[in-house]
């Protein structure tokens, strides 16, 4: 079986037409004065899904999250949670909890009191609260810090307290607003896996807002890529990476080369592009494009092969090695094609030493397979 990416998934309710969504955004529009933050957005999230809202700042992702938590009301449209409309339900009555970007730990309360806050509010019995708090602190490995105040904790520890506090009430849905944004790179990578484990262990639905594509790719079942108040694409990490549906998505996630061209003809699942940037390209795509229409081929740098001689098959063009950056795990090249276009390519450094590596200004060939990229018509 051929599949995008190299992960086989057992959990994919979005592919099941019978599955009922746990959260449904139904034609949501949100205006702040004249500014339209969200425009006619519809989106389904399923139970136990790890769902990411990914986009640059100001794209409306946080607004969407805050509407779900109840801090903003949609201007029009309706949000359903487990089939129930949420309109008019104040935040303190929604069975949803949120982890704030700033963590929003109550500075005048100990770690323990912070975690217990929601439970006390709920009127849980004292003994049960104690037990639950201990359990939660154990979950985030902060048992020893129960009596500390937030300012006595490191950034990573605060993040865990915020997490423990937001899951203490056992919400079925947890909203996370840039949960790892304030951590440094190394800690962020460690914590990503911890968040995933926690989600599995508690069987929760997670909706996470992030502007970091690596974070979204690592953790999510599905990603919604947002742009200026609308969803550009929803899909698994592999789908949005390998088969972006627009230039915006292709460009936002990872780096990409775009070859603009005109469709010269389609036949047997192959689309021929005439002369984009000086050479002809064949692309494996069974869609039917009208001859003469303008499209672009998006192709990732690692799908491009470099060689000193023209390869026998596949699409190829010649150029010169313009820039070479050795990154350790990979080496990135910028190749200047004969027609003048700059193309990014990267190769994995599988050996410690290479005989006769490509050097600056060397004449080389770039090539890629017909199914190496995807065609974009918008």
Partner 1 sequence: MSGRWTRFNITSVVLGFAFLYLPIVLLVIFSFNESRLVTVWAGFSTKWYRELFNNQGLINAAWVTLRVAFLSASIATVLGTLAALALVRYTRFNGRTLFTGMVYAPLVMPEVITGLSLLLLFVAIGFDRGFWTVTLAHITFSLCFVAVVVQSRLVNFDMSLEEAAQDLGCPPFQAFYKITLPVILPAVLSGWMLAFTLSLDDLVIASFNSGPGATTLPMKIYSQVRLGVTPEINAVCTILIGIVAIGVLIAAVANKRRAVRRRRDEQTAFDEFA
Q: Which residues are at the interface with partner 1 (CB under 8 A)?
A: 69-71, 90-93, 96-98, 100-102, 104, 106-108, 117-118, 121-122, 148-149, 151-154, 156-157, 165-166, 169
Indicate the residue among 107 and 340 with the shorter CB distance to partner 1: 107
Indicate the residue among 81 and 98 with the shorter CB distance to partner 1: 98
Half-sphere exposure of 367 (CA within 13 A, CB side): 14
Indicate the residue among 93 and 310 with the shorter CB distance to partner 1: 93
CB of 103 to partner 1, least distance (A): 8
Indicate the residue among 70 and 373 with the shorter CB distance to partner 1: 70
CB of 114 to partner 1, least distance (A): 9
Indicate the residue among 65 and 224 with the shorter CB distance to partner 1: 65
Cβ–Cβ < 8 Å for 302, 314 = no
CB of 122 to partner 1, least distance (A): 6
Indicate the residue among 147 and 287 with the shorter CB distance to partner 1: 147
CB of 71 to partner 1, least distance (A): 6
Look at residues 261, 243, 252 and name the one whose alpha carbon lies nearest to residue 212.
Answer: 252
CB of 175 to partner 1, least distance (A): 9
CB of 157 to partner 1, least distance (A): 7
């Amino acid at each position: 079986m051929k599949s995008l990416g190299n992960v086989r998934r057992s959990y994919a309710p979005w592919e099941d037409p019978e599955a009922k969504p746990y959260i449904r955004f139904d034609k949501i529009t949100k205006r702040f004065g004249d500014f339209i933050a969200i425009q006619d957005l519809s989106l389904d999230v399923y139970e136990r899904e790890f769902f990411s809202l990914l986009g640059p700042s100001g794209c409306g992702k946080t607004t969407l999250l805050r509407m779900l938590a109840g801090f903003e009301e949609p201007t029009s449209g309706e949000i359903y949670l487990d089939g129930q409309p949420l309109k008019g339900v104040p935040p303190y009555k929604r069975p949803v909890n949120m982890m704030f970007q700033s963590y929003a730990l109550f500075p005048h309360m100990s770690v323990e009191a912070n975690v217990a806050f929601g439970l006390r509010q709920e009127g849980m019995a004292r003994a049960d609260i104690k037990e639950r708090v201990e359990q939660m602190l154990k979950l985030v490995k902060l048992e020893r810090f129960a009596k500390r105040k937030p300012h006595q904790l490191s950034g990573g520890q605060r993040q865990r307290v915020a997490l423990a506090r937001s899951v203490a009430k056992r919400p079925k849905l947890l909203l996370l607003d840039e949960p790892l944004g304030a951590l440094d790179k190394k800690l962020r990578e460690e914590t990503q896996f911890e968040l995933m484990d926690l989600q599995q262990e508690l069987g929760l639905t997670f909706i996470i807002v992030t502007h970091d594509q690596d974070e979204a790719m690592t953790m999510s079942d599905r990603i919604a890529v947002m742009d200026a108040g609308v969803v550009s694409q929803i899909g698994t990490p592999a789908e949005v990476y390998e088969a972006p549906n627009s230039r915006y998505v292709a460009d936002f996630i990872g780096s990409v080369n775009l070859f603009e061209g005109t469709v010269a003809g389609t036949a047997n699942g192959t689309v021929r592009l005439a002369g984009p940037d000086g050479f002809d390209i064949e692309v494996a795509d069974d869609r039917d494009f009208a001859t003469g229409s303008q499209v672009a081929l998006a192709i990732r740098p690692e799908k491009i092969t470099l060689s000193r001689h023209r390869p026998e098959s596949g699409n190829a063009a010649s150029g010169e090695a313009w820039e070479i950056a050795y990154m350790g795990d990979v080496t990135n090249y910028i190749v200047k094609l004969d027609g003048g276009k700059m193309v990014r390519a990267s190769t994995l450094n599988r050996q410690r030493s290479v005989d006769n590596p490509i050097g600056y200004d060397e004449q080389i060939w770039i090539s890629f397979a017909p199914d190496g990229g995807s065609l974009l018509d918008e």
